Structure 1
């Protein structure tokens, strides 16, 4: 059976430093394994001192998919920037922020953060 590392769209040794270190984040496999762009991102209060609070989804995950811990992984925020550099301008936003991609573009618009995500 192939290791999880072999399934990534970007090999770990191809990750470039695009932003200063800012900690970890969670992203779904729809981004890192299936290769979809970030469609929705939100920032909650960090879980610990290494957590940035950022959570990244493609936007097409069902609730059932999102509820499965095996569909998520912990990454450095910079890693997800390599998958989708369009997120970079929003990374300084405070906890409580949420952004949805404007379909067909590399732009995001601010959205209301769901209270379950806050």
Structure 2
């Protein structure tokens, strides 16, 4: 984990001053089905009005598990998640781009600075061929 340099340290007010929208977090089904604790989470830019942007995991998810987001991730009210694990209450106030982990040997949360938050997959076709573009947009 890399810590920011002192001149990069934002104030707590800057870190939590983002407009708050939504009420749902996307949570690994391992938390629900296996009753495992949240050990890793990040906040991305919300994808819709009900989304807070928070994504929460146990740390035991495999690449295959994460690839099937529709089956293996569940939208849960953030308030309910904080009732289950009160240690999240202050952390979920942070802005998009924030990443936290709770190592197995620790009860406390640590800020992560070197994790790259995944971007949503967008299917876009780009062309500079005017004829091809015209053909693909004839039905519009």
Query: Do Structure 1 and Structure 2 share a fold, with TM-score over 0.5?
Result: yes
Q: Higher Cα Rg: structure 1 or 2?
A: 2
Structure 1 segment 1-118 matched on structure 2, within 5 A: 23-68=23-68, 69-111=70-112, 112-117=114-119
| Distance (whole Å) between structure 1 residues aligned to residue 93 and residue 55 of structure 2 | 14
Q: Structure 2, unaligned stretches of length 5 or more?
A: 1-20, 121-140
Q: Which residue of 1 aligns with 2:9?
A: none
Q: Which residue of 2 aligns with 1:18?
A: none
The worse-fitting range, judged by mean Cα deviation, of 106-115 and 64-73 is: 106-115
Change in 2 beyond 3 A, CA 1:86/1:76: same
CA RMSD after TM alignment = 1.9
**Richer in strand (by share):** 1
- Cα deviations across residues 87-110 of structure 1 (Å, max 9, x unaligned)? 222111100000010323321111
The count of corresponding residues between Structure 1 and Structure 2 is 98
